[in-house]
Amino acid sequence: MSEITGSTSRLARGCVLCYEGAKMVLFVTGRCGRDCWYCPISEKRRNGDLVYANDRVVTSPDDIIEEAEMMSALGSSITGGEPFLVLDVVVNACRLLKEHFGPDHHIHLYTGIAPTEKQLLPLRGLVDEIRLHPPQEVWGRILDSPYARSVETARRLGFSIGIEVPSLPGIEALRAILPDLDFLNINELEWSETNAEAMRLRGLDLEDGLHNAVGGAAALAEPLLDDPKVHFCSSGFKDSVQLRERLRRIAGNTARPFDEITEDGTIVYGLLELEDDVLPPVLREHIYDIEVSGDKVEMAWWVLAELKDELPGKKSVIERYPNGGIILEVTPL
């Protein structure tokens, strides 16, 4: 099966940068006028108006720039919800990114609507690539739908234009519009907490116990994979490549001297929890890189392992996402 691995020469530019983990994800709103049964957006984000840069809540424009710089982003992905519901937010954010990083900072935008010329014009020079998400019920008459007109309009205005949809029954009907597109991305249908009940009602289940892929979803894309404009993105690829590469970029920019960066882009360090807030003599000599906060002392995990018999207090090895991200594993020493 063809998927986003190996050569990236025919991929949309936005996909190439995702492949490299170089795209910041800017979630601009949880509101949306549609109610797709397969929508994976979490309850925390759904229907709200908080803006997220990757997993960081944005409280000021500086947060967007800091998050992009932290991962050495070469581009950004604008998503939601429906970005066109907050067009002013999108325009301001894209202008901010282009002005700070330059015109080569590649921006692609997802939308579930069929945008008109009036809606697209404010994005000229700010968004490079438009990714349409027509609903499943439209696929069988795609050439007679507003989405076909949006494709023509976007192309005339100078945008790269494509369609991105999950692998659902009837997807082969999108072959009709392929000549007019720059790309068609098919994402493997994924199971989430918010769509699990809808999945079960349709008799669907997980492919295996390792990923979020829905059983049989990948095979639905097969009839279209003979066209070079079509690319299939598996659930496993997103987990094992996109996320890992993004984490590695962030870790490379934010890791402390004593943090060990793993192949997956997580960081590993040692944690000493002091018994009486008094720094042990062996650490007061300052021959080791350490970071002290209250009764917690962080250091290289191998230093903590080597000195564990000389250091009173609770000792453990921590693995977490970089830059203060979620803790994945705590191993007592």
List the structure tokens of 245. Answer: 């590469």
The string of pLDDT tens digits covering residues 281-291 is: 888 876 778 99
Alpha helix stretches (DSSP H) within the chain: 13-19, 61-70, 87-101, 117-120, 146-156, 196-201, 217-220, 235-237, 243-254, 281-284, 301-307
**Is 50 exceeded by the pLDDT of residue 319?**
yes
Measured distance CA(307)–CA(296) in Å, rounded: 16
Quick count: other Cβ atoms within 10 Å of Cβ 294?
8
Measured distance CA(270)–CA(317) in Å, rounded: 5
User: Worst-scoring range by mean pLDDT, 1-5, 39-43, 317-321?
Assistant: 1-5
Confidence of residue 2 (pLDDT cuts 50, 70, 90): very low
**Cβ contacts of 7 within 8 Å, gap of 6 or more:** none
DSSP letters for 236-271 = HHIIIIIHHHHHHHHHHHH--TTPEEPTTS-EEEEE
Output the pTM of the full model: 0.83
Measured distance CA(75)–CA(20) in Å, rounded: 11
**Is 80 exceeded by the pLDDT of residue 215?**
no
Measured distance CA(205)–CA(200) in Å, rounded: 7
The string of pLDDT tens digits covering residues 113-162 is: 999 999 999 999 999 999 999 999 999 999 999 999 999 999 999 999 99
Please report which helix (H) or strand (E) contains residue 224, including its range: none
Please report which helix (H) or strand (E) contains residue 126, including its range: none
Residue with the bigger pLDDT between 54 and 213: it is 54
User: Worst-scoring range by mean pLDDT, 41-45, 227-231, 242-246?
Assistant: 242-246
Per-residue pLDDT, 208: 58
Dihedrals phi, psi of 44, to nearest 5 degrees: -60, -35
Per-residue pLDDT, 6: 36
User: Which domains, ranges and CATH numbers included, belong to the chain?
Assistant: 13-250 (3.20.20.70), 258-332 (no CATH)
Sign of CA dihedral 46, 47, 53, 58: negative
The string of pLDDT tens digits covering residues 153-200 is: 999 999 999 999 998 889 999 999 999 999 999 988 777 777 778 778
Residue matched to tokens 């970029």: 249
Per-residue pLDDT, 245: 87
**Cβ contacts of 217 within 8 Å, gap of 6 or more:** 166, 167, 168, 188, 189, 207
